[in-house]
Amino acid sequence: MTTQTATPAPVTAVKPPLRIFLTILHLAGVGILGGAIFGMLGGLLGTGLGLLFVAGIGLVLLVGLVYALYGLGWFEIARVGALYRTPIAPLRPQPRDRPGFGGWLRSLGRQAIDGRMWRAVANFAISALLGFIVLRLFWGLVWSIFISFAPLTDADAVIGPFGGGGIAVAWAPLVGILGIAACLAGMLGLALLHRTLSLAIVIRSKETELTERVRTSTAQREGAVRAADVERTRIERDLHDGVQPRLVSVGMTLGLAQQKIDNDPDAAKELINEAHTSTKAAITELRQLARGIHASVLDDRGLDAALSALAGRSHIPVHLDVRMDPSTGSGTHASTGSGAHAPTRPGREAEAAVYFSIAESLTNAAKHSRASEVRVTVRLREGNILWARVEDNGIGGAQVQPGGGLDGIANRILAAGGTFRLDSPQGGPTSLEVNVPCAS
């Protein structure tokens, strides 16, 4: 499963003085909130460990802690990216690689040890510490401004900013001016330090980013190679087991007719009719095979029309619900209808991947599931993600077998940069979900 990151749009540059001021405000806000947030997280951890063996309450609290840390990490990455206007991918939850409760536990475990999440949490902790110092420096700045005007009062001495001995009024203006300079310099230095640390901790280096891109590209290429190999095997099997024997039979039938055409014209005529019927059946099989390789209606009329035609040919009743505009409201159309108007057209690669995934799912449902109904839902979601779900009410138990149809779906989706999830417990139902990013 992979994630495709789109190149962010250019943003308007902010001048350095304003950026420093915004950084100081960020640090002050984080300094105020940081103590409360880490106190809550510490309370969740301590209570969860203390109640670990009490009716599962501790486990619930520890699960909540993982999600709270994820939320904090997501917020910190979004905050740093927005503050410094730096392209950075948002923190995403770890996807499930297996269906059911076990798959959720595995994804939760991977989330709990996610290095990117922990780097963001560590950066928030450092920012909270720097923010606490900024708040103290701000109080020192206010005090320094106040004592600069101490000679205008009747006091003999003024109290220090954090208590302690008094300062003579005669020295108060000098101390105030030095305090103002020191506090401003301290806040400026902390703002610059925050920028340096945040860019180093939260935002990955170019080398790491390039490594991740290479890894993603390699996985997609391997998926494309495996998908092509599975498709080639399927075509060879269909030709060898279907069309080829039928054409051989046509040739033998025509040969027999040729031998009988002089001595027994009636028998020869029957053989020719039989060969003609077999030829039409072979042509139909070739058309279906070609449609499995490439659906021309997909290019001509789009995914909605192609799925409507696919559902119309299905041996199982198909309820088709396609909405290709994220802004449209609810409403469905059945597989026998003409389909709703699709105002938005996703990329060709995404359309093809989703179409063939649904086609293979319907084929598997007809062959193995003993289902009486299949529901197909397709959405073009926010973020330009094409999502599809196929669910049947069959007996379940579907598994991804190397070289099988589901393996072909997984590889095709992986090659398109998407994700694939199968949930098929024994007794059913079987559901298959795919997410494919559309080309920008």
Query: Minimum mean pLDDT among 9-18, 174-183, 189-198, 285-294: which range?
Result: 9-18
Mean pLDDT of 181-187: 91
Find the DSSP H helices in 97-243: 100-112, 115-147, 172-201, 206-238
pLDDT at residue 2 is higher than 50: no
| CATH annotation of 297-440 | 3.30.565.10
Domain with CATH 3.30.565.10 in the chain: 297-440
CA–CA separation, 414 and 216 (whole Å): 10
**Residue 430 DSSP label:** E
Greater model confidence, 350 or 120:
120
Asked which of 59-63, 222-226, 419-423 is least confident by mean pLDDT, the reply is 222-226
The residues, ordered by sequence, that sit 6+ positions from 281 with a Cβ below 8 Å of its Cβ are: 246
Q: Quick check: 48 and 58 in contact, CB under 8 A?
A: yes
CB of 427 closer than 8 Å to CB of 371: no
Domain boundaries for CATH 1.20.5 within the chain: 223-293
What's the whole-number mean pLDDT along residues 195-205? 79
Q: Provide the CATH number for the domain formed by 223-293 in this structure.
A: 1.20.5
pLDDT value for 330: 41
Confidence of residue 342 (pLDDT cuts 50, 70, 90): very low
279 contacts 330 by C-beta, under 8 angstroms:
no
Q: How far is CA 14 from CA 22, 23, 85, 184, 189, in A?
A: 10, 12, 9, 21, 19
Amino acid symbol at 434: V
**Distance in angstroms (rounded) separating the CA atoms of residues 184 and 268:** 106
Question: Which of 88-92, 246-250, 268-272 bottoms out in mean pLDDT, i.e. has the lowest?
Answer: 246-250
